[in-house]
Structure 1
Amino acid sequence: MSQVSRRAYLSRSALAAVGLVGLSGCSGAPEANSGTTETDGETPTATVSVGPDGEFVFTPGTDEPLTITAGTEVTFVWESDNHNIVVGNQPEGANWEGTPGDESELYDEGYTYEHTFDVPGEYHYWCEPHKSVGMIADIVVEV
């Protein structure tokens, strides 16, 4: 049995709790994968896992886009080592630069990075060292 660090366990537990809160208001109609949590009068938030379980994915984002509303603050949580975020395409007027540093700057498990997406449109991004194995994702920002 592998040993899970306390930080990884708490991070996964927090993500699971956010997911359960999101499910509590589900109706019969299917929705896009929003991953968004709104609280009264506060900025909506969403969380993206970076490299969960050592896989080369962003969750949500790789298998299906993360869909959020304009003004949502997204927190990217590193769940394994040696990843970054490089921004490819984004809407005109958007200012997302990805993780600090150049494309060779990598971050490890426990690192978090936040960005507020204010401009509606499609954002395409990837992890530079793992782009060739499919660590590519999308965010759709709606009005």
Structure 2
Amino acid sequence: MNSDADERVTRRRFLRAGAGAAAAGVAATGTAAAQEGEGGPTVVTVAPGGSLAFDPETAYVQPGGTVRWEWASGGHNVVPTSIPEEASWEGHEPLEDSGFTYEHTFEVEGTYEYVCTPHAGAGMKGTIEVTENPPEQTGYQSILPDSAKTLGVAATGSMVSVLGLTYLFMRYGGDYEGDFEA
């Protein structure tokens, strides 16, 4: 025995369903990001989305670890500008197109800096840190600075407050039928 009241969508049911869907989306994103880093080489995307950048700009590997550069757009290369003294990495100087991959295994600890020579002036640079204790990069990694997060939280809090007060005023309003003098 279902009545119309049981089947209609209320604000509370709508918000509950939306919050559940948002939580599921956040959990799925974190799981996917955590699975990307498991096993295999560390992947650096060359010019993702047509940008003039390496993603990530700094990659961490242990000695003996492999880094794979995957080209997302054409006209880029990977040329070292600074490597440790004992190292012999030469990079990949020819310009390549989308879909190309290049791998190198780093044996010597230290900092390896590199650029895309045609776009070095635009800031297209990257770093490989070879260390015994790389930072743990599991789950979702935010690229936003803390100030942007704080601003986002403050803006969200303000919007929720305004909407909450609007609801209260609309729901319970005041008695404005009195005599007003102008």
Q: TM-score, normalised by structure 2?
A: 0.53
* CA spacing shift, 1:122–1:110, aligned 2, 3 Å: same
Equivalenced residue count is: 103
**Aligned equivalents of 1:140, 1:114: Cα separation in 2:** 15
**Highest relative contact order (Cα 8 Å, sep 6+), 1 or 2?**
1
Q: Which of 62, 79, 85 is the aligned partner of 1:69?
A: 62
Aligned to 1:85, the other structure's residue is in SS state: strand
Q: CA deviation at 1:20?
A: 3.3
Dislocated runs of 4+, deviation >4 Å:
none
Question: RMSD of aligned C-alpha atoms?
Answer: 2.0
The structure where helix makes up a greater share of residues is: 2
Contact 1:76 1:114 in 2 (8 A): yes
**Aligned equivalents of 2:74, 2:31: Cα separation in 1:** 23
Percentage identity across paired residues of the two chains:
39
Q: Are positions 1:46 and 2:35 aligned together? A: no
**Aligned equivalents of 2:119, 2:104: Cα separation in 1:** 21
Q: Which of 95, 109, 116 is the aligned partner of 1:127?
A: 116
Q: CA deviation at 1:114?
A: 0.3
Q: Per-residue displacement from partner, 1:35-83 (whole Å, max 9, x unpaired)? A: x533xxxxx520000000000000012xxx2111111111100000100
Q: Are positions 1:95 and 2:91 aligned together? A: no
- Structure 1: stretches of 5+ with no match in the other structure: 1-15, 23-35, 39-43
**Aligned equivalents of 1:53, 1:121: Cα separation in 2:** 30
Contact 1:75 1:112 in 2 (8 A): yes
Contact 1:83 1:106 in 2 (8 A): yes
* CA spacing shift, 1:72–1:17, aligned 2, 3 Å: farther
Q: Are positions 1:19 and 2:12 aligned together? A: no
Q: CA deviation at 1:92?
A: 1.3
- Structure 2: stretches of 5+ with no match in the other structure: 1-29, 133-182
Q: Are positions 1:58 and 2:54 aligned together? A: yes
